[in-house]
Structure 1
């Protein structure tokens, strides 16, 4: 019996470099392909005639919004004290209160709110998606659906992506409102703010043009949908030997990189 030939060191080095890059490219392509499928099916009114699909949409939307609401309130309150309050405080010391709107638009509206909302969705709803899809794949239920002539994409992936996209926008708006209210309230209690909250909102809206509001909404929707796509792919690509302890860290890293990349790309595209 012939002995296996040892692998040369240069090939091992190339494999260690090219393997992660190849898997990363495959993940990006799979996410893009699944996103195109969601757009095509989601914009077709005939896709939503099935009662099971609408029920899954309502269930996932309730789980995402209700499950992430408390975390959003707490996180937004901390951000309101740490970002909004500090911005108002230092600008008032410098006599530049009128620039509060521009600063908050750049920091809070454009970057902080979409990223933190995406991380909350990833931790609260993305993990649920990974576990559910991994269990479905390991239990052979995907094969059973296909054997019955049912499309797992339409029944499982499509409502999950749409629900998390809507939940991302909803939780992001709540996050922004709570952060602004908390920042103004702590500034008012500390004697730093003498004006009504209406003036802070007036400065914020005056410094925010239509493109910024559109970017804010698009970021929230894209981030929510991206969390669902990445977690669905991670869960459905699992094997029987893989447990949630292997899938969840992988999904978190992929989701985190996807959220940061999407936020940065959209910010650069609009700038």
Structure 2
């Protein structure tokens, strides 16, 4: 499997002089095509910072990010926009749908920004709405949907332009356990169908068995763990996550 997303010595610091805080400390990571990774750690450990760098939303202080073997130029806004539109799908804690557009239009605008043809957009929207059981809702507005329905739309939006990288920051934070699990399973299913890299940040250790790979971050240092029941218990002990495994 080829590497789609690579971090080389990524660091991120805030402040200056004696008040510098190093949030990420030389992160080296490789993400392979079709691989689903989960990123866990205590609040303030650097999870969202790392995800924002992977999503080209935040520039690292040092180090290099490569997307499909091409170094990302964080100082070139036009190239960053191009990478985000063509290669990346991002799901935030809240769905962040455009409230004045229908679900159909919220999805279609992503395709247009990515340079897709209208027939391809129409076909893609129909396919995702069918898969995610959203077809009856396509002409509704976000305010008319439940939280779980909006998150499913956010998944469709992130996958619409067939990105090679899908990132999700606490996508189940505002959802109950059953709805959240369903949302994550749908996200995993769709990302694997598209053979995309998937990286999800979560505080909920009950989600860990769903992923191929577990990454733990604390004090800016990242460690990869083996996917075992014993490891899940270790995560809860080491990072003081919100729920014990199996809760």
TM-score normalised to structure 2 length: 0.22
Query: Looking at both structures, which has the greater relative contact order when contacts are Cα pairs under 8 Å and sequence separation is at least 6?
Result: 1
Q: Which has the larger radius of gyration?
A: 1
